[in-house]
């Protein structure tokens, strides 16, 4: 087995990231994530992958090492954020397809292990292409499970000098959320999860760790009686005392788990997306609070590098509408791309992330 320790990829995948599945009161299913890192790979944009697109699951045109036998054709159109840097295959970081399957990749530092050779009669799949391949060929979480078990091998083959350390989360219109982790002891597919994923350690550890926070609730603790003295409550929010507030992976997992338990879902898709973005704000990295300890090697493919990991963007997808929403660190305005409006397209299309501030002044339209 091999882990991703080589320092020469444009992003060393040592960042953060948090993922969450949720729902709306009218039955819509949502999946989203924070993308926490200190840079973006060149040509990272909102990316449309059309039906019928040929792509490869192993090797790249950029590095002149395409594995011809890994050529595939997209059965389903997909939309998410990714890069076309590698030329032969659009590398989606996350997204939604026309069947309502949603999901993405997160960093799994120190734990991700992948096979050195494909299993017999399976397709070699490099980890950075897993989101693209699964969204382009699977309609449901059930099909993702079957594909990962029977049809592909996640392969420890470097791209641009390293094997990225990744794990994945997928959800669909059933509401089930799958966590995919390839560890030293093999591939693990965790079904019917609570719908939260951050980074290392693995999902079972995070799930067990929730027992350390059984006291967290949405109701204030009223009064404190201690040694005959009674203290009435004088502030709100005491029900969440002990909820961790740092930006480590375990703390973000706990916060999002309890926010999902107690937060009020939106009435419809628009309000649900707005409410979900608020939840992600609780796990977001403020620029300047998470200094990069292992910056790796800067290459010509990196853009806008800073010495801190921060939440570069947050995105939310809806399984029923196939709309993809996002905000960026400097621009909290909610942008949307609609996959249904792109379905007839036959070529890869990209849309800018709109990273710059966009402030609306309302006084100019005020009545005199």
- Name residues whose C-beta falls within 8 Å of residue 295's C-beta, 6 or more positions apart in sequence: 12, 38, 307
Distance from CA of residue 302 to its chain's centroid?
20
Scan for tokens 């080589």, then name that residue.
6
The dihedral of CA 153, 109, 106, 21: what is its sign?
Answer: positive
| Beta strands in 129-261, from DSSP E residues, in sequence order | 152-154, 166-171, 177-183, 186-190, 196-197, 223-226, 229-232
11 is catalytic: no
- Name residues whose C-beta falls within 8 Å of residue 256's C-beta, 6 or more positions apart in sequence: 18, 20, 196, 198, 279, 282, 283
Residue 350: name the closest of 84, 55, 62, 39 by CA.
84
**Could you give the C-alpha distances from 366 to 85, 134, 303, 330, 361, in angstroms and in order?**
46, 50, 40, 26, 10
**Could you give the C-alpha distances from 298 to 14, 17, 79, 164, 222, in angstroms and in order?**
14, 21, 28, 16, 53
In angstroms, rounded to a whole number, what is the distance separating the alpha carbons of residues 44 and 146?
30
In angstroms, rounded to a whole number, what is the distance separating the alpha carbons of residues 101 and 142?
10
Catalytic residue among 17, 99, 138, 318: 17
Which pair of tokens denotes residue 246?
A: 């740092």
Local structure of 145: helix, strand or coil:
helix
Which pair of tokens denotes residue 317?
A: 């997808």
The dihedral of CA 329, 330, 333, 337: what is its sign?
Answer: negative
In angstroms, rounded to a whole number, what is the distance separating the alpha carbons of residues 360 and 347?
34
Residues belonging to the active site: 17
């Amino acid at each position: 087995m091999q882990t991703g320790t080589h320092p020469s990829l444009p992003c060393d995948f040592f960042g953060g990231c948090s993922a969450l599945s949720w729902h709306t009161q009218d039955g819509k299913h949502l999946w989203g994530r924070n993308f926490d890192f200190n840079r973006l790979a060149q040509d990272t944009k909102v990316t449309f992958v059309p039906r019928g697109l040929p792509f490869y699951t192993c090797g790249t045109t950029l590095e002149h090492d395409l594995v011809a036998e890994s050529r595939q054709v997209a059965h389903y159109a997909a939309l998410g954020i990714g890069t076309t840097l590698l030329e032969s295959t659009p590398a989606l970081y996350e997204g939604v397809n026309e069947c309502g399957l949603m999901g993405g990749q997160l960093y799994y530092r120190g734990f991700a292990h992948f096979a050195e050779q494909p299993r017999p009669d399976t397709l070699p799949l490099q980890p950075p292409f897993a989101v693209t391949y699964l969204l382009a060929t699977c309609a449901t979480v059930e099909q993702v499970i079957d594909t990962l078990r029977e049809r592909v091998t996640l392969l420890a083959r470097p791209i641009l000098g390293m094997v990225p350390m990744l794990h994945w989360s997928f959800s669909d219109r059933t509401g089930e959320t799958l966590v995919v982790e390839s560890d030293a002891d093999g591939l693990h597919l965790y079904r019917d999860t609570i719908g939260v994923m951050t980074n290392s350690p693995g999902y079972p550890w995070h799930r067990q760790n929730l027992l350390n926070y059984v006291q967290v609730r949405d109701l204030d603790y009223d009064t404190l009686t201690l040694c005959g003295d009674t203290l009435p409550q004088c502030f709100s929010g005491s029900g969440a005392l002990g909820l961790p507030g740092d930006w480590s992976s375990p703390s973000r997992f706990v916060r999002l788990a309890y926010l999902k338990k107690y937060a009020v879902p939106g009435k419809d898709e628009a309000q649900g997306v707005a409410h979900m973005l608020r939840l992600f704000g609780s796990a977001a990295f403020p620029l300047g609070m998470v200094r990069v300890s292992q910056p790796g090697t800067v290459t010509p493919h990196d853009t806008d590098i800073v010495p801190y990991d921060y939440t570069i963007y947050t995105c939310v997808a809806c399984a029923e509408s196939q709309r993809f929403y996002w905000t960026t660190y400097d621009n909290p305005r909610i942008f949307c791309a609609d996959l249904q409006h792109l379905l007839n397209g036959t070529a890869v299309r990209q849309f800018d992330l709109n990273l710059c501030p966009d402030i609306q002044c309302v006084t100019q339209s005020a009545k005199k």
